[in-house]
Amino acid sequence: MTIAAVLTVAVSLSLVGAALLLRQGSANATGTLERGTQVTVWMVPNANSQEIAAVGTQLAQLNYVVQPCAYWNKARNFAEARRLLPSDVFQATTESEMPTSYWCTPVALTDAAQVVRTFSGTAGVLSVTEPQQTIHNEETVINVSKWVCLAVAIVLIISAAVLILNTIRMAIFARRREVSVMKLVGATNWFIRVPFMSEGLLQGFIGSVLAAVVVYFVYLFINHEGGGRTTSNIFTAMHMTGSEVLLTNVVVVIVGMAIGSIGSAIAIRRFLDV
């Protein structure tokens, strides 16, 4: 029963630690997505230098935009259009017809809409574009993943505590004759209770250490899949530092010892008659 309890606690806390690690990775991914989201202020093709400079000055004064915003002239936008547009569409376009533009990164994903509201209708501005649907999808996925990870962690913590409680209850039942003998020879209540409490604490500690090892390998997997690649993926956005996994493992060990103590304390209170 003890070995089964330790292994089950290890599995449960491994999932808890992985959930907490993924939650931290989701937070890191949020920051990466925020830094990679851009809002483009397109000027009308015939905008004069005063209008272009005025928009640039106004952008430089915004505290919800990462400074500085990149300015793309007609030639650069024309070269980008050549790369992106089909050849038949591009051949119908001349460099003089291309607009100039400012490319800005909002401080937070929600600030993109504020940039659109600020410059819509401004003199010399043709339009302001943002990846609105992409931003909405990113926010939804990140928020859902955070709450799911938190819910899974809570459920597994409760399950591990109940498991230790049941293990201690079985231990009390198996040793009921020894407890009776100890009471007859004058053993105090705490002298009888401490071994059972220590057993639950030790089970939680050993299980949490095994879980910490599993969490460390999850961390290595995420960073290995996200590092050293020419193209970005979700693991690249979730890249974590050694201090983050260390903090997660400390939490896992503390939680393991806590649920071991709580589970054994409840079991002793309910099932140990001293």
Is the pLDDT at 231 greater than 50, yes or no? no
99 and 42 belong to one structural domain? yes
Q: What gap in Å lies between CA 147 and CA 157, rounded to an integer?
A: 15
Same domain, 42 and 102: yes
- CA–CA gap between residue 103 and residue 71 (Å, rounded): 6
CA distance 241 to 219: 9
Q: Which domain holds residue 68?
A: 38-130
Task: Check residue 31 and give its pLDDT.
Answer: 66
CA-CA distance, 124 to 110, in Å (whole number)? 25
Positive or negative, the CA dihedral 78, 79, 80, 86 is positive
- Report whether 205 contacts 257 (CB < 8 A): yes
**pLDDT tens track for 61-100:** 999 888 899 999 999 988 888 887 777 767 777 888 889 9
The tens digit of pLDDT for each residue in 103-148 reads: 998 887 778 888 888 898 888 999 988 876 666 676 677 677 767 8
Same domain, residue pair 233 and 218: yes
Among 98, 130, 162, residue at a domain's last position = 130
**Of the residues 130, 161, 181, which one is the last residue of a structural domain?**
130
Task: Give residue 44's pLDDT.
Answer: 92
Give the type of residue at 64: Y
The residue ranking higher by pLDDT, 271 or 176, is 176
Q: Are residues 55 and 108 in the same domain?
A: yes
In this prediction, what percent of the chain has a pLDDT beyond 70?
86
Q: What is the pTM of this model?
A: 0.57
Residue-wise pLDDT for 154-190, tens only, equals: 787 787 778 777 877 777 777 777 777 777 777 777 7
- Short-list 17, 14, 20, 15, CA closest to 145: 20
CB within 8 A of 243, min separation 6: which ones? none
User: Do 254 and 157 sit in the same domain of this protein?
Assistant: yes
Query: Whole-number mean pLDDT of the chain?
Result: 80
Is 145 found in the same domain as 79?
A: no
Per-residue pLDDT at 232 = 52
Shared domain check, 27 and 53: no
Query: Can you give the CATH number for the domain in which 101 is found?
Result: 3.30.70.3040
Residues 152, 259: one domain?
yes
Look at the chain and report how many structural domains it folds into. Answer: 2
| pLDDT tens for each residue of 16-63 | 788 778 777 777 776 666 666 788 999 998 889 899 999 999 999 999
- The domain boundary, picked from 77, 108, 130, lies at 130
19 and 43 part of one domain: no
- Those residues whose C-beta lies under 8 Å from the C-beta of residue 268, and which sit 6 or more positions away, are 168, 172, 193, 196, 197
